């Protein structure tokens, strides 16, 4: 990348030179726009962090006083400035508080998505697709034909299993989505939440996000149920592998995480191939940059349309 491009990859992360700030940096920096609170996008110690309210709270929950020197908390579609660069947040639909950010560069609009999800299930603010000149997007599932199954059908695997199920789910985002989906599609089944996940559920609820009907895990109560769901962090799930008392599943779109589980529950919080194409259609960029995955299929797909596609390695 050079001065001909709006962003450049540095050891700290993705850098926006004209504004002297980073986007989801992997190390502490002076100025950081943080799109959401997942660990691969939010680190502790930056002097100034620009993010949503819930993202700030989730970072404080994880890092405590080390989270940031100062949080600059912004709302959706609120205009703000970072070192003289005009910016604006739009909902990304990935997890609670996740945002895309629109920035100005050489009189052009640059939209940085972070992680995003187009398939709203009802508990988050839907993803927004503002028009832009330049799009910087994740490409996690940017492969033709790689489209996610219907969420309701995946929940049926749990609700119709006929047994108690222990489900591994990421502490922030997936666990809250899962408890909400169970209330939406299988309200008759009791949902228990691991003690390490409960504080995140509480933060979601305090910020107006619906996490469905659930209760903190009680071993005694869980054992009494004939059919129930227990949501646990990924590192807890292996302790239940091989159990004769429960079935196990990992709720994710990553196929390799389903090994050793009783059954697969394919629910992803990332955009699939059709979602990526929809975003490009609605945002109407003339240039696309891809990251967090391969952009090769994008380059092939948009070659004839005149849209330039660059991979950020």
Give pLDDT tens digits for 208-243.
999 999 999 999 999 999 999 999 999 999 999 989
- Answer yes or no: is 265 within a domain: no
CA-to-CA distance for 250 and 8, rounded, in angstroms? Answer: 35
Angle between helices 174-185 and 198-206 (to 10 degrees): 70
Give the CATH number, domain containing residue 235. Answer: 3.40.50.12650
> With 0-12 CB in 10 A as exposed, 13-18 as middle and 19+ as buried, what is 208?
exposed
- Answer yes or no: is 98 within a domain: yes
Residues 41 and 133 in one domain: yes
Retrieve residue 209's tokens.
Answer: 């996000």
Residues 280 and 245 in one domain: no
Residues 136 and 241 in one domain: no
The yes-or-no verdict on residue 14 having pLDDT over 90 is yes
Give the CATH number, domain containing residue 129. Answer: 3.60.15.10
Residues 15 and 139 in one domain: yes
The yes-or-no verdict on residue 1 having pLDDT over 50 is no
- Answer yes or no: is 187 within a domain: yes
- Answer yes or no: is 263 within a domain: no
CA-to-CA distance for 298 and 300, rounded, in angstroms? Answer: 5
- Answer yes or no: is 1 within a domain: no
Residues 138 and 45 in one domain: yes
- Mean pLDDT of all residues in 35-56: 97
- Asked if residue 24 lies in contact with residue 7, where contact means CB atoms within 8 angstroms, the answer is no
- Answer yes or no: is 117 within a domain: yes
Domain hosting residue 233, numbered range: 151-258
The band of 133, judged by pLDDT with boundaries at 50, 70 and 90, is very high
Residues 67 and 191 in one domain: no
Task: Note the pTM of the prediction, 2 decimals.
Answer: 0.95
User: What is the per-residue pLDDT for 249?
Assistant: 96
Residues 171 and 132 in one domain: no
């Amino acid at each position: 990348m050079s001065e001909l491009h709006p962003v450049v990859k540095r050891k700290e992360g993705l850098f926006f030179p004209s504004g002297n700030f980073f986007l989801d940096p992997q190390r502490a920096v002076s100025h950081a726009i943080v799109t959401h609170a997942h660990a691969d996008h939010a680190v502790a110690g930056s002097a100034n962090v620009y993010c949503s309210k819930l993202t700030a709270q989730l970072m404080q929950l994880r890092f405590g006083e080390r989270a940031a020197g100062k949080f600059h908390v912004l709302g959706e579609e609120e205009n703000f400035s970072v070192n003289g660069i005009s910016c604006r947040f739009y909902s990304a639909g990935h997890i609670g508080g996740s945002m895309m950010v629109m920035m100005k560069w050489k009189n052009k609009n640059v939209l940085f998505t972070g992680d995003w999800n187009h398939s709203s299930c009802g508990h988050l603010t839907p993803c927004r697709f503002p028009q832009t000149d330049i799009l910087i997007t994740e490409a996690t599932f940017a492969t033709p034909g790689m489209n996610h199954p219907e969420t309701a059908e995946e929940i049926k695997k749990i609700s119709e299993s006929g047994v108690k199920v222990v489900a591994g789910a990421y502490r922030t985002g997936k666990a809250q989505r899962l408890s909400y989906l169970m209330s939406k599609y299988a309200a008759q089944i009791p949902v228990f939440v691991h003690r390490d996940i409960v504080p995140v559920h509480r933060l979601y609820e305090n910020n107006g996000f619906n996490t469905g009907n659930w209760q903190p895990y009680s071993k005694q109560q869980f054992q009494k149920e004939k059919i129930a769901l227990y949501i646990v962090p990924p590192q807890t799930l292996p302790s239940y592998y091989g159990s004769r008392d429960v079935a196990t599943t990992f709720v994710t779109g990553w196929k390799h995480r389903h090994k050793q589980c009783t059954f697969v529950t394919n629910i992803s919080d990332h955009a699939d191939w059709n979602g990526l194409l929809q975003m490009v259609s609605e945002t109407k960029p003339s240039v696309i940059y891809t990251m967090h995955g391969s952009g090769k299929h994008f380059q092939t797909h948009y070659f004839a349309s005149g849209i330039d596609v660059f991979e950020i390695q």
